Structure 1
Amino acid sequence: MEVIQTSYFDWNCLSNDEMPQALHELRLVHRDVKLSNFALTQPKTPGNQVSVKILDFGLSHVYADADGNLRDDPRDFNFSKMKYSSYDVSLGCDPAPKDDVIQASYAILYASGFDFRQKLKSPENDLMNWKRELIRTPRDTLPLMMKFMTPFFEMVGELNDIIPVNHDLLKQRIQECLSEVDANSDLILTQEDGQPLLI
């Protein structure tokens, strides 16, 4: 596998939501979803079909048993200090599946060209306010280049710790934002101007 570089990572390959869904179906929360933890497989077909894999499960946790009873993590990590944690986790809440989705939405922003790295350097209060407003009022907070994804980010803002993440509805919302393409189609690795490109 090749580690994804932002320069050629097409943000919509994160948006098919297959990876978080597969983890959450196993009652596993990743807790470290960021662009550098995604990789591409080698092309699998003559048409250069690839898939995206999530890596680095060192902070992951099986958050519930088979009966749905919540499980504590004895490692007692302090995720509130993680700059790219979700707003609720930054406040001290335990990471839940919705927080994986929120972190994936940050990765989507970063992969789209938004300078997320610079945003993370903001003073703590400014960063917290931005995270809060991104899920409360995405229409006013999203960068101009990502305004078309407002319906997806509005739905992300409606997620909570009690109701399981409805991944099918998230996928539907993504598809509505990307009406000109099939967001569930295979990913193809090509080149444009000598640079790798995912379509």
Structure 2
Amino acid sequence: MLRELVEQISHGNNLTIDQMTNVMNEILSGTQKDEDVAEFLKSLTQKGESDDELLAMLNKMEEFALHISPNCQGKVIDVCGTGGDNLKTFNISTAASFVIAGAGGNVAKHGNRSISGVSGSADIFEYFGFDLNSEPNKVNEIIEKFGIGFMFAQKFHPAMKNVANARKAVGGRTAFNLLGPLTNPAMV
């Protein structure tokens, strides 16, 4: 299936929502070979992701994710970057999250370890002693009590383990860099 879709994409053709939904189901379920997934992701990146392709990927990722619903006064937000810029830049989104929480806002921070920068949000939260493997109910409690909590992408998006090797093989940005900020498990 993936090879046929790679052929379609390599000719500059977008996938339908149904095609992308089906392929994402297979990819996130772990039924596809890493090298085939890597080839698919490279082709999609080279063509450029369509809105419908990203929407289908987003919906399927949300379906496979763990979720939280903190009960806070006021809105809960996330501050997130896409990562993957390969510039060794400073992680400003995590610093901004602490400023927002310190000013009375509620932040459900969602992120991962650094791949190309100095530090990812997970690296920073871990450095400060946060348990990256905190269960969803614990993260809810932390946000409700302190106004900020962290959802480690690897914990809250367990199906992404089925894409990890392919993403490493690609060695650069993929659609998943765009989807990360859109798939906050608090649905913010």
**TM-score for the superposition, normalised by structure 2:** 0.27
Structure having the higher helix fraction is: 2
By relative contact order (CA 8 Å, sep 6+), the higher-ranking structure is 2
Q: TM-score, normalised by structure 1?
A: 0.26
